[in-house]
Chains A and B, each alone.
Chain A
């Protein structure tokens, strides 16, 4: 369980990035975090992994105060794939990149090899096994950072803007990974501007604006609140906007395109 208890974070420059944030994320929960650029989403994530410590208030990961744990200790529990893969990749080749953290965490060589092979296959990186991570395309780098994190099997997986540079096939794979992690009992936190990607997953959604959590609830309820979303510069998913603009509509918004298709086909003969 991750608990933010009245967390405020003030940058050394004096800017308040988190403003009295209280939030509890249960084990096995899937959570989407949305909000305007600079709303504090990435700062929030950095608190979970201990990269930043609260100026006031406390962050507890499985009951342990982040200030009393090192980032290395917390990373074993919390894997974060940051927004910019270039900040995270440094090894000589893809294989070494994935093996790096595994060796650091003290996994045996046999297990390291198994996990590396699994991650490379799963993310379709076979042909780059021995290539430098820096020669990969933007989308491939992104997948590699996620592969690295999943390889050591942390209980909490945090993905910061995972869909940047990903085509629709990779995006589907990503949603599948998120579903898979969820069913394996992992806590998954996805920070994204890609509202169309988030919507069908129907997770709990936290809306942040100017360092505060301004709304928190199930996607199906929250995404109907156009004004609240707009105040965090988030627009509604197309299917929700379509749903709300229909005169004759079903009780709940369309989750998938085929839901909308079937409904509309019934309306328009």
Chain B
């Protein structure tokens, strides 16, 4: 499989900082993977993501060494406008990302900036709205929408740019549990339909582990753990790095490997209960 992201011995230190925020970081992500990026707060997750979407080194200066490539383009040599079509970014709070007077204008904003021809723009905006089930909101004002809808508008704006890789910063933290769970299912559908790769920063793992392939854990700028959800969640060190291990996973670990068929998927509460019911003596 092709690697959509390669990070090779990345080091970064902000001007005036005592220590490097990113230390000798190697990472490879394959096309269509869903990767959770976790680690204690302040461990450098946001900085690492800036190095992927190009804000580092294009907008933030500092000591930079190593190499990051996204879809074959070397981030530090690639202009931002070109990177914007390769890497999309969904902020934690959609309010920071949507600001136009109508949903469709908002979604078209990035494309307008790139000077995409009108017909093409129309097509891409319509596609993105259809994909996220918000076509009926096209002419509504974004600020009138619910938080879950705003989140979808922001995501549609990102999708319309056609990036192969989308980064999400705690996308579910401001959503109620059911809206959050719908967003996670939506990401899974987009991944299946378009082959989009997602890197998701998240502390709340209960929802995301159901669709994620891998968890990468960093601490103090270094990569500490990298493996399947099953492997990382069963690792004794994971909690020490600030991961919330879902309750069913902790109990499932006790039940033995049978609980995690395929070595990857993580059980739901009802799957775990079924297993217990069937094994009870």
CB-nearest residue of chain A to B145:
A38
Q: Which of A45-53, A54-62, A259-267 contacts B (4 or more CB under 8 A)?
A: A259-267
**How far apart are the CA atoms of A142 and B280 in the complex, in Å?**
44
Known A138-B92, A167-B203; judge A242-B243 contact (CB<8 A). Answer: no
Query: Digit string of A231-265 for contact with B (CB within 8 Å is 1, else 0)?
Result: 01111111101100111100000000100110011
Known A168-B242, A242-B251, A261-B251; judge A268-B177 contact (CB<8 A). Answer: no
In the complex, which range does the number of interface residues on chain B fall in? 35 or more
Does residue B270 face the partner (Cβ distance < 8 Å to A)? yes
Contact (Cβ within 8 A) B42 A268: no
Does residue B1 face the partner (Cβ distance < 8 Å to A)? no
**How far apart are the CA atoms of A166 and B274 in the complex, in Å?**
32
Does residue A35 face the partner (Cβ distance < 8 Å to B)? yes
Contact (Cβ within 8 A) A137 B272: no
CB-nearest residue of chain B to A237:
B247
Contacts A242-B270, A268-B255 known; 7 new A-B pairs at CB < 8 A? A36-B178, A165-B41, A165-B173, A167-B241, A193-B177, A238-B247, A265-B254
Does residue A164 face the partner (Cβ distance < 8 Å to B)? yes
Contact (Cβ within 8 A) B181 A138: no
Chain B contacts to A: CB under 8 angstroms: 38-42, 46, 92-93, 146-148, 170, 173-181, 203-204, 206, 239, 241-248, 250-251, 254-255, 268-270, 272-274, 276-277, 279-281
Contact (Cβ within 8 A) B46 A267: no
Within 8 A of B (CB), among A77-91: 83-84
- Within 8 Å by CB of A83, from B174, B175, B273, lies B174
**How far apart are the CA atoms of A169 and B248 in the complex, in Å?**
19
Contact (Cβ within 8 A) A36 B42: no
Contact (Cβ within 8 A) A37 B92: no
Does residue A161 face the partner (Cβ distance < 8 Å to B)? yes
Contact (Cβ within 8 A) A168 B244: yes
CB-nearest residue of chain A to B269:
A241
**How far apart are the CA atoms of A194 and B173 in the complex, in Å?**
8
Contact (Cβ within 8 A) B276 A246: yes
Q: Return A201 CB to nearest CB of chain B, in Å.
A: 15
Known A242-B272, A269-B281; judge A168-B239 contact (CB<8 A). Answer: yes
Known A38-B147, A165-B203, A170-B41; judge A193-B170 contact (CB<8 A). Answer: no
Residues of B within 8 A of A163 (CB): 173, 203
Contact (Cβ within 8 A) A235 B178: yes
Contact (Cβ within 8 A) B276 A264: yes
Contact (Cβ within 8 A) B273 A245: yes
